[in-house]
Each structure stands twice: as C-alpha cells, then as structure tokens.
Amino acid sequence: MLIRVINPNTSAAMTAAIGAAAARCAAPGTVIDCVNPTTGPASIEGHHDDALAAVGVIEQVRAGEALGAAGHVIACFGDPGLNAAREVATAPVIGVAEAAMHMATFVATGFSVVTTLERTCIISEHLVHNYGFTRQCRAIRACEIAVLELEDPGSGAYERIEEECRHALREDRSGAIVLGCAGMADLRDRLQGALGVPVIEGVTAAVKLLEGMAALGLRTSKRGDYAAPLPKPYTGWMARFAPGAA
C-alpha cells in the first residue's frame, strides 16, 4: 500500500526528514513515498507561501493518484491545498494539522499548539476555527524559530520548543501538545519523553489515520463538495492542471 507524503515546500532536507519520520511509524506493507513539488517556496511561513505551495500539493496529489496511492498526506501545518487536493483525489487526503488536532482530542480535553513563527499563528487559528476545535485548542504558541532552522542541529531549536511546551502546560491548562510544524516530526519522541504528556505530531498521525482508513475502505467522497473538478480549459503554464486534460 502506497502512501504519498507530500512536503509542500521544496527543501529536500526537510522532505527527507519528514519521509524518515513517516517511514518509522508505517506498518509493514505500507510504502512511504515522500516527495516535494517541483516548484514553490523553500519554506511556508505565511499566507503567501501557503497559497503558492498549494499548487505543488495539487501537482503531487495528481501524480500520486496516477501511481495508485492509497492515501496522501499534506505535510505542512497549514494544510495547504487540502480541499482542492480532495477534489482531485479518490484516495483519502489528510493534512498534518488536521491529523494532529483530531488525535489530540482523543487523549486530552485541551491541547496547546506549539509552532514556529508568530506570523504563522493566524493560519493555525483559522484551521482550528474551521475544524471545529475552538474549545479544545487552548492556545497557539510561537517559538520564533524559522522553519528551516529546525533542520539545523546547532540552532537550539529543540530547547526553545521544549521550553515553550513547558510554558503551555503550566499556563494553558492543556493536557497535550500539538507540534505546529511538519519539520518537528523527529522531535516528538524526545519531547514526549521529557514532558510526560502526549505530544502529537501530524505527519505520523496522518500516516496512521490513512492506514486505518484504507483498511476500512474509506475514500474521499465523490458526491457533492469533493466531486472531481469540472472539465474546463486552463490557460498558460497551468494548462497541465486543467481538469479532464489528457
């Protein structure tokens, strides 16, 4: 069973790290194919990066569908392009913010999101509102770490994240931590060990959700809001995205 994990940014190092985290948690029989778009931002730290990264997500979901993927993970905490991806996929598609937040509600009455830069908090806030978790999400906290710093062992990122998590547990009355960046996937185990509460990370959460959904035969509904895009011409560079194009 093939699960495509799509890192929506174009940083190969982060793609590798995300893929490794996904592979570590995958069941026997699951093949993780971790990819990133051929074009787009090197990291996603705002609405502009997010909107443009959605193009690459769509590109990769289409490619994954052609390969017969059993599921797709959008491995950026803004879940860029999620609804569009669901239109082009028949396999299920899950965003990592979505996956992590849902999982967190199963182990605690309230969770705190700990993320990178303050300017990304609005995106998380928007997702929380849309997924319905305004009561369960007790705080969204930034560490003021740039996304690509997470890949730099000398950046002190782990220490700053752990410290922010401790603030969250003390001040937010939260019982669990949601890591607010796919780039934090390989910090989860260490953080959970250090903090003694569930630490939920979306890449691994999404992989396990997709494995479960595949076993149940649950795929994206093609009735109504996620029906395939209507065939029509797309002009210029995007002609390749035209629904129904050969």
CB 140, CB 119: distance < 8 Å: no
Is 194 near a copy of itself (CB under 8 A)? Answer: no
Q: Which residue, 66 or 106, has its beta carbon nearer to a copy of itself?
A: 106
Is 155 near a copy of itself (CB under 8 A)? Answer: no
Options 152, 212, 244, 245; binder of a copy of itself; rule CB under 8 A: 212
Q: Which residue, 105 or 115, has its beta carbon nearer to a copy of itself?
A: 105
- Least Cβ distance, residue 178 to a copy of itself (angstroms): 11
Is 31 near a copy of itself (CB under 8 A)? Answer: no
Q: For 151, how many CA atoms within 13 A lie in the half-sphere containing its CB?
A: 14
Q: How far apart are the first and last CA of the chain?
A: 26
Which string of x and - marks every residue 67-106 that binds a copy of itself (by CB under 8 A)?
--------------x-xx-xxx---x-x---x---xx-xx
Q: Which residue, 67 or 228, has its beta carbon nearer to a copy of itself?
A: 228
Is 216 near a copy of itself (CB under 8 A)? Answer: yes
Is 198 near a copy of itself (CB under 8 A)? Answer: yes
Q: Which residue, 2 or 218, has its beta carbon nearer to a copy of itself?
A: 218
Binders of a copy of itself in range 1-20 (CB under 8 A): 10
Question: What is the C-alpha separation between 1 and 217, in angstroms, rounded?
Answer: 13
Nearest in space to 161 (alpha carbons), one of 115, 123, 204, 201: 115
Question: What is the C-alpha separation between 210 and 3, in angstroms, rounded?
Answer: 8
Is 66 near a copy of itself (CB under 8 A)? Answer: no
- Least Cβ distance, residue 43 to a copy of itself (angstroms): 6
Is 65 near a copy of itself (CB under 8 A)? Answer: no
Is 246 near a copy of itself (CB under 8 A)? Answer: no
Give, in degrees to the nearest 5, the angle at Cα 35 between 71 and 223: 30
Q: Is the dihedral of CA 87, 147, 34, 125 positive or negative?
A: negative
Options 68, 153, 224, 246; binder of a copy of itself; rule CB under 8 A: 224
Instruction: Produce one character per residue of 67-89: b if its CB has 16 or more CB atoms within 10 Å, e if not.
Output: eebbbbbbbbbbbbbbebbbbbb
Size of the site for a copy of itself (CB under 8 A): 96
CB 33, CB 64: distance < 8 Å: yes
Grouping H, G, I as helix, E, B as strand and the rest as coil, residue 54 is helix
